[in-house]
Structure 1
Amino acid sequence: MPDLRVVEPRRPRHCAECHQGPYARLLMESDTPRCLDCADLGHLVYLPRGNTALTRRAAEYSTLCAVVVRLNRNRGRYERQGILVEEEALARAEEACLADEESRARRRTRDAQRRTNEDVAFTQALATEISRLYPSCPPERAQEIASHASLRGSGRVGRSAAGRALHEETTTAAVRASVRHVDTPYDELLMSGTPRNAARAIVASAIEQVLTSWRTSAPNSVPTT
């Protein structure tokens, strides 16, 4: 990341050196705002974030560059908005990206297929583990629970490190969550204004009844010798 940092103030400010402005972007030096021209950055062009390959190459090709940030008050930190680079470097980066766009598109397709294959395999493994722990759980229900818990990017328990490792505790948590929402009036209690902890306490025994019934071997299972 470039060492130079240009700030986009929440309100445009004037330059402390030339007293011109207000400016949307300023270089802060010892809390002193300077416009890009006074900071010797006026010849640079702005490249907004969004294209990782283009940004990486433009920064690599540019002799001088700066990162542009803006304060996010909710998160209490500065967040990157883009970079300032030399115009020739940006043009060179754009040409390079166009030249290998086809190969990068193929790589993105391969990566997407790989992730899909991994997700299918993991979902099936989770469904198998659910059936092992709860042999009387209907197979289609085990598959439904696994698909829900393992959805990529969902932040659900199945996507945690323990969930991907098929730890019994996290697998049970996924099953319990499904039973809570599907087999009890938990959602209706929440919608009626019942506090979450109180609603959980109300349905706790019903959840345990379902889990206990699922833990027993299926009636048509054949004991192993």
Structure 2
Amino acid sequence: MSEAKVPKCSLPSGYSFVPKGNVFITRNCRRLTQACGCSVYVVIDAKNEPIGIGVPTEIHVGVQSKETDTRAERAANVLKRDGGIAKGFQKEIMKIFPKIPPDALRNVSRIALQKGKGKVGRVGKLNVQRRARLAVWAHVRHCETDYDVLLRNGVPREDARHRVEAKIKEVCKVWGSGSQTTRGKPGKTSTSTSSPGTAASQAIKKTAKPVAQITNERKVAVRNSKRAHRQKQSLIKLGKKDKKLTKQQKGAPKASSSPARVVATAASFREKRTPKPRVIPPIEPSSPTPPTLKARWTNPSMPNLGLRE
């Protein structure tokens, strides 16, 4: 559902302004307003920047009351959850850097897990191992080298990072990482000084490669066997056809010698379609033939009345 943008003074009657800052109040006010079919307004300032939302007044009052009642319980839950996250993060750091000092470990965990500041410990796109390495690398850069002093003296950022890179690698190696990565990109450790977890993952990768190769070889072998079977079947069919033709030729009577076969051509078809001219002999005049006299039948018993025959 789209939310209209309005200034704070243009909110409809019966609506209240909910400022940004309290995630619990903002989220629940928006959810309850949309659930009851009412419109949610995005309140903007003179620079067209959002500064809060507008929701019905009764919903805002109810959410504020609920926020007050559950504040202590929610704070305890947040502390418990954050404590579990911090313990897991410190445990991962200890796996990679087993010789890190306790004070440095607590400092790394506290700074890296700060909320709302874009710290590396809160980046969800990176796995926990990568976040732990980057957090320790940043701590060593700021607390164990002259990096901040160089920045205050006007040294460019990249130049300052390049100057303290050797010191960072040295400290990380002492703490147990043995990192030999490029500038500003810690993460890949050497095989000789890797932690048990890293060694186990590398062993799994090494064993996974032969398994994948065996699977591919098996697939290729199956495809080759199927291809050979198809070729064999086609050869068998061809052999059967040849045997059948040979039997038919042996059983057929020998044909007598016949004249050569005449192949029809276009000229022969043209001769068949075009009639040949016929020579009509001249008609010779014949002598007139005398008329034939018809005989009459006479009855001998009848007298002749003088009729001519």
Q: TM-score range by the shorter chain?
A: 0.5 to 0.7
Whether the aligned pair in 1 keeps the contact of 2:18 and 2:55 (CA below 8 Å) is no
Structure 1 runs not aligned, ≥5 long: 10-23, 26-35, 218-225
- TM superposition score normalised by structure 1: 0.61
Distance 1:127 1:55, change over 3 A: closer
Structure 2 runs not aligned, ≥5 long: 20-24, 179-309
Distance 1:203 1:7, change over 3 A: same
Whether the aligned pair in 1 keeps the contact of 2:43 and 2:51 (CA below 8 Å) is yes
Counterpart selection for 2:54 from 58, 83, 104:
83
Counterpart selection for 2:44 from 70, 73, 91:
70
Q: Which position in structure 2 is the counterpart of 1:186?
A: 147
- SS of 1:47's equivalent? strand
Whether the aligned pair in 2 keeps the contact of 1:68 and 1:84 (CA below 8 Å) is no
Larger helix percent: 2
CA–CA distance in 2 between the matches of 1:84 and 1:111? 24
Q: After alignment, is 48-57 or 154-163 more displaced?
A: 48-57
- SS of 2:150's equivalent? helix
Counterpart selection for 1:137 from 92, 100, 104:
100
Which structure has more relative contact order (CA 8 Å, sep 6+)? It is 1
The alpha carbon displacement at 1:82 in A equals: 3.6
- SS of 1:48's equivalent? strand
The alpha carbon displacement at 1:194 in A equals: 0.5
Counterpart selection for 2:114 from 151, 158, 181:
151
CA–CA distance in 1 between the matches of 2:131 and 2:85? 14
Distance 1:84 1:141, change over 3 A: closer
CA–CA distance in 2 between the matches of 1:97 and 1:136? 49
Q: Which position in structure 1 is the counterpart of 2:188?
A: none
Task: Note the 1:73-112 alignment, pairs <5 A.
Answer: 79=50, 81-83=52-54, 90=57, 92-93=58-59, 96=62, 101=65, 104-112=67-75
Distance 1:128 1:162, change over 3 A: farther
- CA shift digits 1:130-166 (9 cap, x unpaired): 1221122112321221122112333211111256x52
CA–CA distance in 2 between the matches of 1:162 and 1:58? 32
The alpha carbon displacement at 1:54 in A equals: 5.7
CA–CA distance in 1 between the matches of 2:6 and 2:172? 56
Q: Which position in structure 2 is the counterpart of 1:17?
A: none
The alpha carbon displacement at 1:60 in A equals: 6.2
- TM superposition score normalised by structure 2: 0.46
Q: After alignment, is 183-192 or 49-58 more displaced?
A: 49-58
The alpha carbon displacement at 1:80 in A equals: 6.2
The alpha carbon displacement at 1:49 in A equals: 1.8
- Aligned identity (percent) is 24
Q: What's the C-alpha RMSD, in Å, of the aligned pairs? A: 3.5
Distance 1:47 1:60, change over 3 A: farther
Tell me, yes or no, if structure 1 residue 49 matches structure 2 residue 49. no
CA–CA distance in 2 between the matches of 1:6 and 1:153? 25
Paired residues in the alignment total: 172
Tell me, yes or no, if structure 1 residue 122 matches structure 2 residue 96. no
Whether the aligned pair in 2 keeps the contact of 1:8 and 1:70 (CA below 8 Å) is yes
- SS of 2:70's equivalent? helix
